[in-house]
Amino acid sequence: MRRILILVAALGLIAGSARAEGEIRIAEQFGISYLPLQMMRHQNLIEEAGKKQGLDIKVTWSRLASGNPMNDAMLSGSLDVASGGVGPLLLIWDRTKGNLNVKAISAINSMPLYLTTRNPAIKSLKDFTAKDKIALPAVKVSVQARTLQMAAEKLLGKFDALDEFTVSMAHPDATAALMSGATEVNSHFGSPPFQYTQLADSKITRVLNSYDVLGGPTTFNLVWARDDFRTKNPKTYKAFMEALAEAVKRINADKAAAAKVYIEANNSKEDPALILKMLNDPEIVFTLEPQNTMAYAEFMHKVGALKNKAASWKDYVFEEAAAGKGS
């Protein structure tokens, strides 16, 4: 595995070194938590920021279901900016430390994640049995999986006590399965807007809130990149950062307009009123500031998921982000 990683990293360096200033490939995931990226795509904010520097930037967008394929694409050199939860970011930071040096560019939000179920017998984590299946983006490595492990350690005394009940599934598919009741998946550790859509069904209840596990507001998603992309494409990187900051500014300035962007950017059939309600939820915050990420870093190192121990949150973010506030 180590030889494979070194080979993939080497190939990635070759692919990355061939890239020219003025081109960027970005991948987003599903859900309203990626609204800043959707705003950037919908309103061509990167292109606008590039023109201010005299650069005509070509932006290629793609969508992946979880952090695992994001990291695979980044290691292979086929992706410049990845997005996802704290868990996948920490994994690739740990594995590339000293070679590709992947780090976070910025946080993009802090949001509560809900574990929901349609099994009326489940009131807490203690009630799950082998008959129950919990869908989440990626078994053992997604931020939902890590949060579930942290909760299991606290409530059940064993961090991986519920791992055998989890299955990997994209949020839209998991929501469809949960609401239909036609598959073995009867629970879902998801994210907005999917968890709110689920709870509109009286048969579905909330079992867990990630903020309760982490002790307060916590970063859900970040964006990250390889250090060679950042250093070899300074204008493109700067344009991305400026566009991201502008997207967050626009979301916070006009939630109704942001809800409209979400609907249009995703060709969504969701109720616009529900989207606006979520954006006005005080627990949902779009911010570039990392919050409470060290809780994940410390836990993942403790259970052996990370080889490197972060001394602070600044270890796994680039210096531009580290210059600001965070935790």
pLDDT at 19: 58
pLDDT at 14: 41
Answer yes or no: are the C-beta atoms of 217 and 290 closer than 8 Å. no
Quick one: which of 92, 103, 93, 108 has its CA closest to 317? 103
pLDDT at 270: 86
- Could you give the domains of the chain? 2-110+219-322 (3.40.190.10), 114-214 (3.40.190.10)
Coil, strand, or helix at residue 250?
A: helix
For 311, the token pair is: 């001394």
How many other C-beta atoms are found inside a 10 Å radius of the C-beta of residue 107?
A: 28
Q: How many angstroms separate the CA atoms of 104 and 90, rounded?
A: 9
Q: How many angstroms separate the CA atoms of 65 and 90, rounded?
A: 18
For 318, the token pair is: 């680039």
Predicted confidence pLDDT, tens digits, the chain (327 residues): 444 444 444 444 444 444 579 999 999 998 999 999 999 999 999 999 999 999 999 999 999 988 889 999 999 999 999 999 999 999 999 999 999 999 999 999 999 999 999 999 999 999 999 999 999 999 999 999 999 999 999 999 999 999 999 999 999 999 999 999 999 999 999 999 999 999 999 999 999 999 999 999 999 999 999 999 999 999 999 999 999 999 999 999 999 999 999 999 999 988 899 999 999 999 999 999 999 999 999 999 999 999 999 999 999 999 998 888 999
Strands 133-136 and 166-168, by their bridges, are parallel
Query: Helices H, strands E: what count in the chain?
Result: 15, 10
pLDDT at 58: 97
Question: Would you list the DSSP string of 3-63?
Answer: HHHHHHHHHHHHHHHTPPTTEEEEEE-SSGGGHHHHHHHHTTHHHHHHHTTT---EEEEEE
Answer yes or no: are the C-beta atoms of 290 and 324 closer than 8 Å. no
For 249, the token pair is: 């500014």
Q: How many angstroms separate the CA atoms of 311 and 294, rounded?
A: 9
